[in-house]
Each structure stands twice: as structure tokens, then as C-alpha cells.
Amino acid sequence: MNHRVILALCIFPAPIYCMERTADLTINDFEPLIYQEVIQENIDKKAEEISRDHEGKSLTIVMVMKGAIHLVSDLMRSKNLKVPVTLECIQASSYGQNGTEPGTLNLFGADRLNLKDKHVLLVDDILDTGETLSGIIKQLSKQMPASLKTCVLLQKSKKRKNLEHADYPIFTISDAFVIGYGLDYKEQFRNLHGIWIKKGK
């Protein structure tokens, strides 16, 4: 190790330690669950349903950052989405320090929206405990939208107290931890093609 590196380690030990920390789960802990092509097929089917349900109306999509990024992008560009759309976004984070267990809901950007009399489609990545989506619905409903529907990429099949199901789930999966296509583990893996499931579940 050269003397400049040793000097830097002595002066800035904490930041360097933080930079070198990596997630404890790696891509090797996951296996493919749903391929990209199948996701697009199902999105197209839902886009048709959404268009039918909102015929003659225009739709305000509220994207929940960051997990819904690819779903919103592919849904908005689906050949079957036939209604005019506008896009808004809010940010929600709910997972705790370890990355796989829920924590407290933090919501940003909902206050600056004006949803009065709008037909809103709230799009999120996944419906797990339902805490996040039901918290967001509670906030957005205060703005008196004309209608408020929910679309999620994944809905986990389990009992939920708050929100039993989304209006437009693209897939329903077992209660396992998944990544890819927007979904993260400690902010990583959102860029993966398709959805990957944690092995051994």
C-alpha cells in the first residue's frame, strides 16, 4: 500500500469503511422468477382493462418512486393503453435497515399534488403488508380525486389487515422476497431484467 493510501486511511477511516461495505445478499442468492417478456404481456393485458374501465376519461398516474419506475414506464407505453395520461410522482420508503423487513413509512411529495376531481391510478411496485399503499391512499384521498385505483407489479398472497388487494395487480406471487424490475434489496438490483426470487423460500 503506498504512503498516500495509508495517510488517507488514517485521516478518513469511517468514510472509507462505509464505501467498502456491500450488501450481504448477492445476485447468487436469487433465481429468476418472471421473465421480462412475460411481464410486458401481463402489463399489456392490464392496460387493456385499465383503458376499458376509464373509457372517455383521462388518467393521472401517480408513480410511487422508486420501485414502480419500470412498471410505470412500460404501462404508459403499452400499445393497449388507450386513454390520455399525465404523470405525477411521490416517494415512499418503508423498509428498515436490514432491507428485507418492513419499517416505518416515509412519504414525500404528496402535498404538492392537486388531484381534485382527477381519475387517479396509483402505481407501486409491490403489495406486501399493505401499510405503504393504504398510507398513501389515506393521504391522496384527502385531495378528493374523482376516483382512485391501485396498480401494483406484484401482490403477495397473504392475509392483509389494511388493503386486501390492488385493483390491477400484474402478478400475484407467494410470500417471498423478490428483486429486479424496480424492486430493490438495500437499493441494489432495481436494474435487473425480470423479477428474481430469493432462493430457498
Instruction: Please list every residue from 122 through 181 that binds ligand IMP, using CB under 6 A.
Output: 124-132, 177-179
Provide the b/e sequence for 169-186 (b: ≥16 CB within 10 Å).
Answer: bbbebeeebbbbbbbbbb
Q: Which three cell numbers stand for residue 41?
A: 404481456
CB 181 within 8 A of CB 195: yes
Q: Is 111 a catalytic residue?
A: no
Partner whose footprint covers residue 99, from ligand IMP, Mg ion, none (CB < 5 to 8 Å by kind):
none
Applying CB under 6 A, among 30, 39, 67, 72 the residue interacting with ligand IMP is 67
Residue whose grid cell is 412500460: 74
Nearer to ligand IMP, 85 or 137 (CB): 137
Based on the shown chain and the rule CB under 6 A, indicate whether residue 95 belongs to the binding site for ligand IMP: yes
Helices and strands in the chain, H and E counts: 5, 9
* 3-class DSSP assignment, residue 141: helix
In degrees, rounded to 5, the angle at the alpha carbon of residue 127 between the alpha carbons of residues 123 and 128 is 155
Partner whose footprint covers residue 178, from Mg ion, ligand IMP, none (CB < 5 to 8 Å by kind):
ligand IMP
In the stretch 164-193, what mask flags binding to Mg ion with x, by CB under 5 A?
Answer: --------------------x---------
Cα–Cα distances in angstroms (integers) from residue 138 to residues 60, 141, 146, 148, 162, in the given order = 17, 5, 15, 11, 11
For 142, what's the count of Cα atoms within 13 Å in the CB-facing half-sphere?
9
Based on the shown chain and the rule CB under 6 A, indicate whether residue 94 belongs to the binding site for ligand IMP: yes
CB of 64 to ligand IMP, least distance (A): 7
Cα–Cα distances in angstroms (integers) from residue 19 to residues 5, 14, 98, 162, 166, in the given order = 15, 9, 17, 38, 38
CB of 153 to ligand IMP, least distance (A): 9
CB of 14 to ligand IMP, least distance (A): 28
Q: Please tell me which residue in 128, 167, 175, 184 is annotated as part of the active site.
A: 128
Q: Which three cell numbers stand for residue 147?
A: 376516483
Applying CB under 6 A, among 102, 142, 187, 191 the residue interacting with ligand IMP is 102
CB of 81 to ligand IMP, least distance (A): 22
Nearer to ligand IMP, 54 or 171 (CB): 171
User: Which residues in this chain contact ligand IMP in the complex, by CB under 6 A?
Assistant: 67, 94-95, 102, 124-132, 177-179, 183-184
Active site residues: 128
